[in-house]
Amino acid sequence: MRIAVYCPHYEDAGGVQEVVRRLNAGMAGRGYDVHVVARLPGGMGLALPSRDPSSGAPVSRVRFVRAPHRGAGARAWRHFLHRLPGSAVRLVREVWRTRPELIATHCSKFHAPYVLAMRALRVPIVVHLHNGPQTADGPESVPLSRLLLRCARRVIAVSPGVADYARSVLPARAERVVTVPNGTDVDEFAGVAPAERPRPYVLGAGALAARKGFDVLIDAYAAAGIGLDLVLAGDGPERAALESRAAERGIASRIHFLGHVDRATVASLLRGAAIVAMPSRFEGHPLFSLEAMLAGAPVVASSIPGMPAELRHGETGLLFPPDDVAALARALHELAEAPERARRLGRAARAAALCFPTWDEVTARVLAEYHAAAG
């Protein structure tokens, strides 16, 4: 089967990029012909690779503008509507050149008009949903979600919560929605040396954006009064605001912003962390939570629907209500003052994570849905 993978966020470092690359590698390894079509980032002077480094699949890039959310204002809508016809033609032409037998889309809610345009190719479309109501592109948009799901012959949701949301948006086509969680690589942490830093540390990793809740983590860390440093791995639009927040709390010297780091560094940081904090405001099924558990790290996470069910409060980690600074501060203090308990939680998390599906199993399940959609 020839598969066109439409992923607007393919060039954005993060969990979606990793999921797409893992699936691409699994499909290419089984002999499938995969071609990635992505958004061409603006303002990038560096040459981008013409092939997916994990699978060898060719990558095409098209410049287009995503649909704005409701609160973006009239100017954003005029800009989008002005660019939409030309962008849609360029995108459809590029996908058509791959001669696909199936189109798989990832993180495409605010790109639903382009997915609708691709229906002109008369090829089955499978939509991968990585989040529920809210996404990295903007707040909930029921019209765009409904438009996207109407285009799909199959919808693959990363978690039961995301699947439930999809069914609630378009109840008449609920039978098209299936859940296939993200996978793990059990061997990824084998032999990884723990990161060596001057002081023990709490680790937060991900995009420095409001949805990740690192402002809550900084406030909670300041309130906890613990003898650990705070290390933030990642970059994003909120970095300057977070640095200012740390300075205002008088803890700037204890917080270390590493910027974007590669996966090998993240693995090493996970292995060395005294505590891993995930204060997200919303998630679909975050890879970082699976990887933290697999690394055997003591996890403190917000109790939101997207977290894995295996992350259980008091058994395999500690959970706190999202945006609750005091509750997160108590959890950090509790584990910092009881390192043996933290290690027990980490060992329990590791044992639970060994039951997560592998990427090979996830790829097989995804391909089964592709064949069902194409059939």
| Phi (first) and psi of residue 238, to 5 degrees | -95, 5
3-class DSSP assignment, residue 3: strand
- Nearest 5°: the CA angle 58, 179, 304 is 105
Instruction: Note the pLDDT of residue 322.
Output: 96
| Phi (first) and psi of residue 338, to 5 degrees | -130, 70
- CA dihedral (59, 237, 284, 350) in degrees, to 10, reads 100
Question: In terms of Cα–Cα distance, which of 278, 222, 275, 227 is closest to 247?
Answer: 222
Listed in sequence order, the residues at least 6 apart from 322 whose beta carbon sits closer than 8 Å to its beta carbon are 213, 216, 279, 280, 281, 302, 303, 304
C-alpha span between 264 and 271 (Å, rounded): 11
C-alpha span between 279 and 204 (Å, rounded): 9
Alpha-helical runs (H) found in the chain: 15-29, 74-97, 112-118, 142-150, 160-169, 214-224, 239-248, 263-272, 287-294, 325-337, 339-353, 359-374
| Rg (the chain; Cα; Å) | 21
Instruction: Note the pLDDT of residue 36.
Output: 96
- Name residue, tokens 């999202």: 322
| In the chain, where the domains are located | 2-183+357-374, 186-353
- Nearest 5°: the CA angle 163, 177, 179 is 55
Instruction: Note the pLDDT of residue 27.
Output: 97
Q: What is the DSSP letter of 144?
A: H
| CA distances in angstroms from 74 to 86, 88, 112, 333, listed in the order given | 20, 21, 19, 47
Low pLDDT (below 50) residues in the chain: 45
Tokens of 133: 């109501």
Residue 173: count of CB within 10 angstroms of its CB: 16
Q: What is the DSSP letter of 204?
A: E
Instruction: Note the pLDDT of residue 113.
Output: 95
C-alpha span between 29 and 22 (Å, rounded): 11
Helices (H) and strands (E) in the chain, counts: 12, 13
Question: In terms of Cα–Cα distance, which of 68, 66, 60, 54 is closest to 22?
Answer: 54
Global pTM reads 0.92
pLDDT tens figures, 344-358: 999 999 999 999 999
Instruction: Note the pLDDT of residue 349.
Output: 97
Instruction: Note the pLDDT of residue 189.
Output: 84
Pick left, alpha or beta for residue 139 (phi over 0 → left; psi -120 to 50 → alpha; otherwise beta). Answer: beta
β-strand partners of 105: 6, 127
Pick left, alpha or beta for residue 123 (phi over 0 → left; psi -120 to 50 → alpha; otherwise beta). Answer: beta
- Name residue, tokens 């050149």: 97
Residue 46: count of CB within 10 angstroms of its CB: 5
Superfamily of domain 186-353: Glycogen Phosphorylase B; (3.40.50.2000)
3-class DSSP assignment, residue 260: coil
Asked if 291 contacts 188 with a C-beta cutoff of 8 angstroms, the reply is yes
C-alpha span between 106 and 115 (Å, rounded): 11
Burial class (CB in 10 A: 0-12, 13-18, 19+), 199: exposed
CATH 3.40.50.2000 at 2-183+357-374, yes or no: yes
pLDDT tens figures, 257-287: 999 999 899 999 999 999 999 999 999 999 9
